[in-house]
Amino acid sequence: MKPLMLQGHQRAITQIKYNREGDLLFSSAKDSKPSVWYSLNGERLGTFNGHIGAVWCVDVDWTSTRLITGAGDMNTFLWDVETGTALGKIPCNSSVRTCNFSFSGNQAFYSTDRAMNHPCELFVIDVRNIDASISSADPVLKLTMNEQQSKITSMLWGALDETVITGHENGSLRIWDLRAVKELNSVNDHTASITDMQMSSDGTMFVSSSKDCSAKLFDSDSLMCLKTFKTERPVNSACISPLYEHVALGGGQDAMEVTTTSTQAGKFDSRFFHLVYEEEFARVKGHFGPINSMAFHPDGRSFATGGEDGFVRVQVFDSSYYEHTFE
């Protein structure tokens, strides 16, 4: 399986996302230019220009018409996917760490960091008709995190767009009711910062990755921890295959702790675990630095990884992957 190397970012990749059909791959990096690529041949369609800081998060709605990005320049941008023009820009008080469209595509949320005497806040906005006035419009909902709740590091929409699941810097996971504007439940299964959370294709479970060297599978309704996938080094991203009962993990050491290592050292592999048996069954080499973000293609026949080395790699599975069975 020869990978496609998507080269275009000057700095480390922060997040990658497929659209619903899987023909487009969106990437954000620390070089302030989110990009969109054809996932089939790795050709770059274009960039979304407007940010002036590291872009931390990117998401596309299910019709592939709108894109939302949040960055360290304290702005959230909404873009037209087709033309690359900025539809709206929302100024924030601190850098924007996470952003996501709801499943319906009518709402989006983003969260800001705790910095410069501003608390960590979560905003829900209406994105049905976006124009320049969105920069001054009030959010539909605003939740402020207190000291115990710590900074939000990743977020997901829950079922029916009625709840939001947040992962925090102290390792806790919380589920919020958006109608009643209150916290429904919180769990502390992870012991270090949550780095990424991704839903399964049917939305009943999600996998969370953490700096405590593990990824865990949770029920998205009750936040019950179902499975744990352990590794020796921090996990930066994890995703669930839409095709098989497989979980892929990516990580490596922190960017600050990386010394000159060869790619053969096996530190920066993508690792595949069986969802039910929690056993590792495959590794894929490739990146020359930690993997920061991973995503399965919606058809489950390929996956993409974005690394600290600034490359996005798209790997298509060989036929042996489909024949592999657990004894």
Q: Select 4-323's CATH number: 3.30.1490.100, 2.130.10.10, 2.40.128.30, 3.20.20.70.
A: 2.130.10.10
Which pLDDT score is estimated for 325? Answer: 80
Between strands 302-307 and 311-316, the pairing is: antiparallel
Which DSSP helix (H) or strand (E) runs through 319? helix 319-323
CB 219 within 8 A of CB 227: no
CB 218 within 8 A of CB 205: yes
Segments making up each domain of the chain, as ranges: 4-323
45: which residues sit within 8 A by CB, 6+ positions away? 24, 35, 36, 37, 38
Residues pairing with 110 in the sheet: 99, 123
| CA quadruple 224, 222, 22, 161: dihedral, nearest 10 | -160
Which pLDDT score is estimated for 148? Answer: 83
Backbone φ, ψ for residue 133 (5° rounding): -70, -10
Give pairs for 317-320: CB < 8 Å, separation 24+.
317/1, 318/1
Which pLDDT score is estimated for 141? Answer: 94
Burial (CB count <10 Å: 0-12, 13-18, 19+), residue 53: middle
Q: SS3 breakdown of the chain: % helix, strand, coil, rounded to 5?
A: 5, 50, 45
Rounded CA separation 249/251 (Å): 7
Which pLDDT score is estimated for 2? Answer: 80
What is the pTM for the complete model shown?
A: 0.94
Q: pLDDT in tens for each of the 327 residues of the chain?
A: 689 999 999 999 999 999 999 999 999 999 999 999 999 999 999 999 999 999 999 999 999 999 999 999 999 999 999 999 999 999 999 999 999 999 999 999 999 999 889 999 999 999 998 888 898 899 999 999 988 889 999 999 998 899 999 999 999 999 999 999 999 999 999 999 999 999 999 999 999 999 999 999 999 999 999 999 999 999 999 999 999 999 999 988 765 665 555 555 557 899 999 999 999 999 999 898 999 999 999 999 999 999 999 999 999 999 989 988 876
Question: CA 133 → CA 84, 90, 138, 165, 308, distances in Å?
Answer: 19, 9, 10, 28, 36
CB 198 within 8 A of CB 207: yes
- SS3 of 51, please? coil
Six-digit token pair at 55? 């872009």
